[in-house]
Amino acid sequence: MLYLILLPVLASLCLIPLFGERKIKSSTIAIAGALGSLALASYYLFAYFVKSVVESYNWFLGGFSLSFIGNNLTLSFAVLVSFISLMVLIFSVFYMKKEQQERYYVEMSIFILSMLGLVLSNSLLLFYIFWELVGVSSYLLIGFWYKKESASAAGKKALVITRIGDMAFFAALIILFIGLGTFSIPSINSATSSLPQPLLLLSGILILIAALSKSAQFPFYTWLPDAMEGPTPVSALLHSATMVAAGAYLVIVMSPLLAAAGLNIILVGVGLLTAFIAVFLALNHRQIKRIFAYSTIESLAFMFIAVGTANTGGAVFYLFAHAFFKSLLFLISGVFAVLLGMQDIYALKLKKLAGTWVMIPALIGIISLAGIPPFMSFFAHLSLSAGFNIYENLLFVIISFLTALFAFRIFFVVFNQRAEEKLEKQKESYIPIYVLSAISAVGGLLMFSFTNIIANFTYVLDGFTLIDVLAALVGVFVAFEFFYRSKYPHFSMKVKSMVSYLSKHSYDSILSSIGGFVVLVGALVGLFDSKLSIFYDKLADGSLFLSSKSRRLEDGDTQTYILAIMVGIIAIFAVAAIYI
């Protein structure tokens, strides 16, 4: 049964607090849970191969039906999440030796549980429940070092910005249920023609906002670089197989609805804009984890573009490839953080790391990031761009050049000088790094079998493929000249200055203008509100004054009432005599 995939993680949530550090290490329990999840997910993938098995559960008697689905796509994602989680948890033994083990592994287990539940959900309501659990667990892990002000602020920022998408998702959920009477994802996607066009468009826009915020796309991308305040293994998991991948996965599973709503062109436009912003920001930063964060934003933008070009298979394949090489790169940055205590690439340059054991895995990860053959990401790029038109291909070529430039900037700066002493090597650190390196290097050879396992996708080998690879190689050459051989320092400084200006002023100026307009409107509304309050205060005072005066007429004296009647009658006759 599919829900058993979640039980090993649930077991770790129960056992870790029970045993803590007294009898069994919490890391051992968490790793065993992830390993159990991987084994069960692999078993179910084999058992349900080319099938689609749905398991439904009633939420309260006569309530909503919540269902999980097991097919090639969902179970492949479950295997991916479990495998990456296992690698990250093994690395965490090395990285988190001096930290609060029990709390860390409980929160990581919740994180893994949330994503496993999300990818297996067949009900949009169940999807939303796990979507929220992903957000909460990421908040806890990003702000893990909560006594550090920047980490606490980063966790809050991630929670607040992604909350915009959460509310949009919830609103879409209500609209779709009212319009179609079901939470079933396949039923919703197949019944889009039954929805009135305004409701279809509105629900599609709300789902798109939810995905954009969770996957840190424009204009919601600012929370993701700040999320690097969390432990590096958290970053590796968050950027590869969980959290940010949840938005891309939502776009993939709801792609029929988005296409029916006519939002594909927006997916492409936002994706291209986000990719350009991300590469410029990556060129401007020195902190290696932040550079990788911007590269994640770019990679997710590629997936949005692929879905927008009706190529969900290419998006799925690239998501898989990205999970392996991005987790690899983050784990390598974790080695630098633990053994050298630094993340600045120019500070790492002084440590003379060329020839150390991390150099070859780092090169594999960097080449994968740049999409250079014959590694797995090159084949992912082929499937990604299969649906591009000539304009999208041209823009993709430019992005490929810039991606290779900032990726190899990291490599040529960090590994600039030959090492004079060996870098410490521990099995908890090198085992997951070597495994991920091997998959990133040779995984592309499995591409044809992936066609049958994950999704139907196509790939194109044409002139643009060659141009794309040449553009990436030119980016490598420029990075070598600028950052390894340090040639043309004046030109490189001008380029850096321009990139810095663009990254600092373009988006910030837009936000500042919007913020200034909002402040102005707020000030005008506040002024109007204060004047209106004064008016109502005066009106209330006048009413009180009149009531105090008129109260004297109601004194209960019969003679006063007779006098008032007589005065009224005389007044009526006087008016009648004058006008009649």
Residues 136-154: tens digit of each pLDDT: 888 888 888 887 888 888 8
Q: Tens of pLDDT along 516-568?
A: 665 576 667 667 667 766 776 777 777 777 776 666 666 666 667 677 777 77
Domain identity same for 207 and 267: no
| Higher local confidence (pLDDT), 88 or 157 | 88
Residue 362 pLDDT exceeds 80 = yes
> 424: phi > 0 → left, psi -120 to 50 → alpha, else beta; which?
beta
The answer to whether residue 252 sits within a structural domain is no
Domain identity same for 37 and 172: yes
H/E stretch holding 67:
strand 64-70
Largest CA distance in the chain: 119
Q: Specify the pLDDT at position 23.
A: 45
Of the ranges 57-71, 427-441, 531-545, the best mean pLDDT one? 427-441
Domain identity same for 212 and 358: no
Residue 196 pLDDT exceeds 60 = yes
| Higher local confidence (pLDDT), 433 or 100 | 433
Q: Specify the pLDDT at position 265.
A: 92
**Among 80, 84, 108, which Cα is nearest to 96's?**
108
Q: Specify the pLDDT at position 505.
A: 47
Residue 20 pLDDT exceeds 60 = no
Residue 103 pLDDT exceeds 60 = yes
pLDDT-based confidence at 18, cuts 50/70/90? low
Domain identity same for 338 and 388: yes
pLDDT-based confidence at 75, cuts 50/70/90? confident
Point out the domain boundary residue: 224, 251, 280: 224
Domain identity same for 447 and 541: no
Point out the domain boundary residue: 195, 224, 253: 224
- Residues spanned by the domain of 550: 533-579
How much of the chain exceeds pLDDT 70, in percent?
82
Residue 417 pLDDT exceeds 60 = yes
- Residue type, position 514, single letter: I
Domain identity same for 309 and 408: yes
Give the whole-angstrom CA distance, residue 542 versus residue 294.
63
The answer to whether residue 511 sits within a structural domain is no
Give the whole-angstrom CA distance, residue 178 versus residue 182.
8
pLDDT-based confidence at 240, cuts 50/70/90? confident
Domain identity same for 432 and 559: no
Residue 179 pLDDT exceeds 80 = yes
Q: Specify the pLDDT at position 544.
A: 72
pLDDT (mean) for 95-124? 83
- DSSP state string for 217-228: -TTSTTHHHHGG
| Higher local confidence (pLDDT), 239 or 496 | 239
**Among 131, 89, 90, 120, which Cα is nearest to 107's?**
89
Give the whole-angstrom CA distance, residue 3 versus residue 117.
8
Give the whole-angstrom CA distance, residue 300 versus residue 295.
9
Q: Specify the pLDDT at position 349.
A: 86
Q: Which residue has the tokens 């009135």?
A: 196
Domain identity same for 287 and 217: no
The answer to whether residue 493 sits within a structural domain is no
Cross-strand partners of 57: 66
Mean pLDDT over the full length of the chain: 81
pLDDT (mean) for 258-286? 89
Q: Tens of pLDDT along 113-140?
A: 888 889 888 889 889 989 998 888 888 8
Domain identity same for 329 and 217: no
pLDDT (mean) for 280-288? 85
Of the ranges 206-210, 483-487, 560-564, the best mean pLDDT one? 206-210
The answer to whether residue 251 sits within a structural domain is no
pLDDT-based confidence at 66, cuts 50/70/90? confident
Give the whole-angstrom CA distance, residue 151 versus residue 143.
5
The answer to whether residue 522 sits within a structural domain is no
**Total count of domains within the chain:** 3
- Residues 354, 287, 269, 508: is their CA dihedral positive or negative? negative
Residue 411 pLDDT exceeds 80 = yes
Domain identity same for 454 and 397: yes
Give the whole-angstrom CA distance, residue 299 versus residue 314.
12
The answer to whether residue 513 sits within a structural domain is no
The answer to whether residue 154 sits within a structural domain is yes
Q: Which two tokens stand for residue 161?
A: 């910005």
For every residue of 295-324, which 3-state class applies, written as one string?
HHHHHHHHHHHHHHCCCHHHHHHHHHHHHH
Give the whole-angstrom CA distance, residue 369 versus residue 321.
10
The answer to whether residue 60 sits within a structural domain is yes
Give the whole-angstrom CA distance, residue 447 versus residue 454.
10
Domain identity same for 298 and 441: yes
Domain identity same for 214 and 269: no
Point out the domain boundary residue: 175, 195, 224: 224
Q: Specify the pLDDT at position 363.
A: 92
